[in-house]
A and B are shown apart, each in its own frame.
Chain A
Amino acid sequence: MSETLITLERVCKVYQVGEENFTALNDVSLEVGKGAFMSFVGPSGSGKTTLLNLIGGLDRPTTGNVLFQGANLENMSRDQLATYRRENIGFIFQTYNLLPVYSVYENILFPLILNGLKESHVRKRVEEMVAKVGLMDQINKKPAQLSGGQSQRVAIARALVKDPLLILADEPTANLDSENSRQILELMWELNREYKAAVIFSTHDEKVTRYIRREVRLEDGRVSWDKRRNGTEAEP
């Protein structure tokens, strides 16, 4: 395995639902290396999204530790977690979560602006990303004017534009038809090879598993199966 990017140590996450406690994750430990292309699979409610949220610093574990390159996220303040996300993580959501008043170009530009870069310095980079995801002819359109597949491409470009070490994609194909799903997965696979960002999917889409190099299956909040493909790359 390559250099470790993420380490999960005996992570538990318990939610309070009304007066009941719901255990979303139960004693999960695993490591994710740099440049990984892997997925968390499992039925709905198995803890996939919770695991992604903990790795992305959007949520904190009830017990256990999440370490990013050795740094424990538990010890970070809210602002430090925001910096961690801004500098290291790209998110891709099932519902795209594009900023509705911004154009395709501005949505992709936004993470760079957040990192303090001037538009004039990064315009070329943003246009490159737009071209990479094949949306040059839609560059000035607003999210409401795009199809689901096009919106997800924008989300991918937005996640990649800042060269993050890790991309977390929560059910990225769940809202897409099979052709769009295939295109999105191929695009992510190519971008993973090109940009070397580790990609972790959460999915219950069987098609995804054909592209990934490692599959972690979750059941009832526990890791039931951690399967690695042979070789460093798996061709679709």
Chain B
Amino acid sequence: MNWEIANKNFYRQGLRAFLNVLVTALSIIALIFMLSLLNGFQAQATRNLVSTDVGGGHYRVPGFDILTPTEWEDFTMPVPEVLSGLAKKDKAEVLVQQGQLYPNRRLFPVQLRGIEMDQSLLHLPLAGLKFYEDKPGGEIPAVVGVKMARKAHLKKGDTVVLKWRDKGGAVDARDVLIVDVGDINNPRIDDGVVWLRLDHLRLMTDREGEVSWVAVREYLGLVNGFEFHGIDLLMSDLLALLRQDRINSKILWGILMVLVCTSVFNTQILNIFKRQKEIGTLMALGMEPGRIVRIFTLEGVLAALWALVLAIFLGVPFFIWFQGVGFDVSHLSEASFPIRETIYPDYQPREILVSVFIVLALMIAAAWVPVKKIIRLDPTLALRGRAIT
């Protein structure tokens, strides 16, 4: 019978009940949306780094350190057969050397990065280099990223002087033609990097068949003369950043939860507050205090269930739609995260379940606590609407 009374009370409240349910449902949707967008942002940053640079890991020349440019020339080696024999979709040979650009007569130290043109492991906007001969003619074709182009004041079609050292230590200089300014969404391989064909860079530096590393799709076991750097090692800086970001996102989640819970609690309390006299009347009519609490808690449960249903009804189509269109962040600066395109939310079931559970539990608690408090007081206070003020 409690269920029947609660049912009747809840459904007959009409608009008030609906608004209560709607506020909670929208809060749940907003919470899931924010969390999933944040997850999507982080997942995409990781994915971008993998797809543009890291792959499944690097077989590197031992001692090579990307943060020590002065030693790059000392750590190149011919590619062992076990790596060179891999399919083009499974490996990308990379040679990294120092260079100096002189745009507008200014010195601009750069990283010259040569990569195979027919590899398909890493996704880079280097199509502009593909159609050049394997030996550079008068000008060396190169691609730079948007950020690099902005910093060096370069644009497509510009010619700029490039200096480098070959294997023998001799300094060479040639004009470089910027054939394209590529939208590279990974700042690590944009800022200060000049992209060249691998065969060109090898010829320029007299390092035929040599590489600094070979990016591979997956670990292939020990390779003689090379050392393997896994994804975790190669992305340690980003992962550390994400870990910090996780802490920040936990704080953000906490703030969001507080906002959502305040909203839900406020709506529920207001609802109970307006019904104090009704509670007093039920007491005067002889309903046992425990039963009143059960009925109002059941109403809270009903509201929570409907909030869940409404959140699913409104949220699922929205989330599916948003998964399709994403959130355009192309306007963002190329700061520290390797992301600058459209973010797609990443829905984490556990996170969603925990958040929804907390909101719904709070909704029920917000129905239970004030009624519990009211029935502990004299019915006369409830009848006068002064049990909770």
Contact = CB atoms under 8 A, between A and B. Distances in A.
B270 interface: no
The residue in B285, B289, B378, B383 that gathers the most chain A C-beta atoms within 10 A of its C-beta is B285
A101 B16 CA distance: 12
B280 interface: yes
Interface residues of B, number: 23
Contacts of B9: 101
A56 B284 contact: yes
Contacts of A79: 288-290
B290 A97 contact: no
Contact of B380 (A58, A84, A89): A58
Interface string B271-284: 00000011011111
Contacts of B106: none
B17 to A, nearest CB: 10
Contacts of B8: 101-102
Contacts of A111: 285-286
A59 interface: yes
A189 interface: no
B278 A114 contact: no
A85 B286 CA distance: 5
B379 interface: yes
B383 A58 contact: yes
B378 A91 contact: no
Interface in A26-68: 53, 56, 58-59
The residue in A86, A102, A114 that gathers the most chain B C-beta atoms within 10 A of its C-beta is A114
B13 A86 contact: no
A78 B383 contact: no
Contacts, number: 65
A141 to B, nearest CB: 13
A99 interface: yes
Nearest to A113: B1
Given A58-B379, A97-B383, A101-B13, A82 B280 contact: no
Interface in B12-62: 12-13
A59 B380 contact: yes
B104 to A, nearest CB: 79
Contact of B284 (A83, A85, A113): A85
B289 A86 contact: no
B286 A87 contact: yes
A85 B285 contact: yes
Contact of A99 (B278, B286, B383): B278
B335 interface: no
Contact of A114 (B280, B286, B380): B286
B127 to A, nearest CB: 69
Nearest to A115: B286
Contacts of A85: 283-286
A45 to B, nearest CB: 14
Contact of A58 (B5, B282, B283): B283
A158 B281 CA distance: 12
A82 B287 contact: yes
A97 B384 CA distance: 10
A113 B286 CA distance: 11
Contacts of A93: 281, 284, 383
Contacts of A86: 285-287
A113 B8 CA distance: 14
Given A53-B380, A58-B379, A113-B1, A97 B289 contact: no
Given A93-B383, A97-B383, A58 B285 contact: no
Contacts of B277: 95, 97
Given A82-B286, A86-B286, A114-B286, A97 B378 contact: no
Contacts of B380: 53, 58-59
* 8 smallest beta-carbon distances between A and B, as pairs: A86-B286, A101-B12, A85-B286, A97-B281, A58-B379, A82-B288, A91-B284, A79-B288
Given A53-B380, A113-B5, 20 more contacts: A58-B379, A78-B288, A78-B289, A79-B289, A82-B288, A83-B286, A84-B286, A85-B283, A86-B287, A89-B286, A93-B284, A97-B284, A97-B383, A99-B278, A99-B281, A101-B8, A101-B12, A102-B8, A111-B285, A113-B1
25 contacts: A53-B380, A58-B379, A58-B380, A59-B379, A78-B288, A78-B289, A79-B289, A82-B287, A82-B289, A85-B284, A85-B286, A86-B287, A89-B286, A91-B284, A93-B281, A93-B284, A95-B277, A97-B277, A97-B281, A98-B281, A99-B278, A102-B12, A111-B286, A113-B1, A114-B285
